[in-house]
Amino acid sequence: MDYRDEYRRWMAQGSADVGAELAAIGNDEQEIRDRFEASLEFGTAGLRGVIGMGTNRMNYYTVSWATQGLADYLNERYGGGTVAVSYDSRNMSEEFAKTAAGVLAANGIEVYIYSELMPTPMLSFAVRELSAKAGIMITASHNPAKYNGYKVYGSDGCQMTIEDSAAVLARIKKIDVLNGAKHIHFAQACDDGLVHFIGRRVIEKYYDEVKKQQLNPGICVKYPVRIVYTPLNGTGNKPVRRILDDIGVKDITIVKEQELPDGDFTTCPFPNPELAEALELGLRQSEKVKPDLLLATDPDCDRVCVALRDDNEFRILTGNEIGILLFNYICTARNDNKLMPRNPIAVRSIVSTSLVDKIAADSGVEIVKTLTGFKFIGEQILMLEQQNEVERYIFGFEESCGYLAGSYVRDKDAVFASMMICEMTSYYKSKGKRMVDILNDLYKKYGYCMHRVLDRYFEGPEGGTVMKGILAGLRAEIPAEIDGLKVVSYADFLSQERKNLETGETQTINLPASDVLEYDLENGAIVMIRPSGTEPKMKTYLTVFENSAAESSELLDKLQKFAEDELMA
């Protein structure tokens, strides 16, 4: 069907509100095409898109459409079962969560939903605690305010696998987006006993499991830390404050403008804690309060960013630097307290810092590398659990500020990470050290491994095609050098092959096929390129290992210019 025909079909069949919104774009051919030429893609990350009417938008119809496909899958595979549901602070999140619950209930599937917004890790926990067959989290993580999303979890608490999401997609494709979903109103589903609210027992057990990950309980009481915290108008406000209070962190200043839920994110239109712009108010508050550290969690509270006091300034750490510090502390504390399991394992994504590999080698820990996406780290935890060896897992992280220790959830958890960062700060305070000192010591010991992530956006209906064209061009012609540095080896994770360009030797990459390219340079620098799985953008990851901070920074600047001018052009 032509996108114009689909537009007219929605105009004819939708409600008055739908008709009014679509009538307003009647003379905007580009907007109509963008909304109706394609449909939101359902994959391992579920759905994500701009809120609005159309097949390529997040709305009542597309949420119902996806949920009907999930319901058909669950009924065919399990004969029904239960589904846990949660939602964040974004516009329409609660409405979409209740819409999904109504579709599931209409298909005879029992639903357990939180009575208020809750973080993504608490959804992962509820799935396993309630023995649900699946979970739905309504969130678009750290995307701009105009976005929302729909993440689906399997019965193991991990985001849905490639195989299972493909099975759901096959069923979705059989459903008409406008009228193919069954539905009953949320209130009616509650009255009929098909929808239940998740009670305090599950919530309190989650907090208990987080606190079990402490390695030096009580240290925050003995060596108090002062915190400035911003939940960036998201779900972290109550859970993070609760867990910090429980472990003895009492001196907390909240960034008031970003304390309460606000789907418009008026003080930080791009609520990504990795960005300095999102931390501006927190940094301003920190200049007044002079805390030990600033904590910032994203809207669904699965990522956390940190700024540390470094002399008279506050230094924003990268996700890799937080990962380095947390992993080093976990190894140190476990070894010192004789809590290190036999044959311990830590997991990192392929785009995350390799400096932790050196720490792991010195600490007797095996590093396992996965594709980008915390679901792959969750799968590693599941495999260990199936082998009755889950205690071997001590830490997993992604450079995008996602961290987890313990197996109580299967997704990154900023509630845990906030707790552990404060514990780590108190621990080093007990030794008369600051975390910036520890980080600098690690750089001096292992090399100044520095990183930078570049984003290039490709909006509009042609965006995906342009990205594919750039990647096809890079595959067709492998550069012999990057900014004067010889490319020693080249890896294409889609063809699952790594090639040494000096010897011609090839190796198989033992990971699922993924649209990622990697260039290893002669001085140890690494350039990796991949399209984002959740946003219309291409990401380039730069890693350098030089003898000083100044040399690493200079090389990063050069590689960035080359990447922007040549690789991503």
Provide the annotated active-site residues. Answer: 141
Q: What is the CA radius of gyration of the chain?
A: 24
Residues 381, 392: Cα–Cα separation, whole Å: 9
Which residues have CB under 8 Å from 383's CB, separation 6+?
none
Nearest to 65 by CA among 166, 142, 171, 161: 171
Q: How many angstroms separate the Cα of 402 from the Cα of each of 122, 322, 422, 454, 500? A: 15, 9, 16, 18, 32
Q: What is the DSSP track for 233-255?
A: TSTTHHHHHHHHHHTT--EEEE-
Which element (helix H / strand E) includes 357?
A: helix 355-363
Which amino acid, 367? Answer: I
- Exposed/middle/buried for residue 563 (C-beta within 10 Å: 0-12, 13-18, 19+): buried
Q: How many angstroms separate the Cα of 519 from the Cα of each of 292, 348, 480, 483, 500? A: 38, 19, 10, 12, 10
Q: Which residue has the tokens 């009542």?
A: 60
DSSP 3-state assignment of 28? coil
Residues 285, 177: Cα–Cα separation, whole Å: 47
- Exposed/middle/buried for residue 476 (C-beta within 10 Å: 0-12, 13-18, 19+): exposed
Tokens of 384: 């260990």
User: Is the alpha carbon torsion for 462, 467, 471, 477 positive or negative?
Assistant: positive
Residue 113, Cα to own-chain centre: how many angstroms? 21
Residues 58, 65: Cα–Cα separation, whole Å: 11
Neighbours of 57 (CB within 10 A): 21
Backbone angles phi, psi at 328, to 5 degrees: -60, -40
Q: At what angle do helices 200-211 and 237-246 cross, to 10 degrees?
A: 50
Pairing mode of beta strands 134-138, 82-87: parallel
- Exposed/middle/buried for residue 26 (C-beta within 10 Å: 0-12, 13-18, 19+): exposed
Nearest to 323 by CA among 226, 193, 435, 157: 435
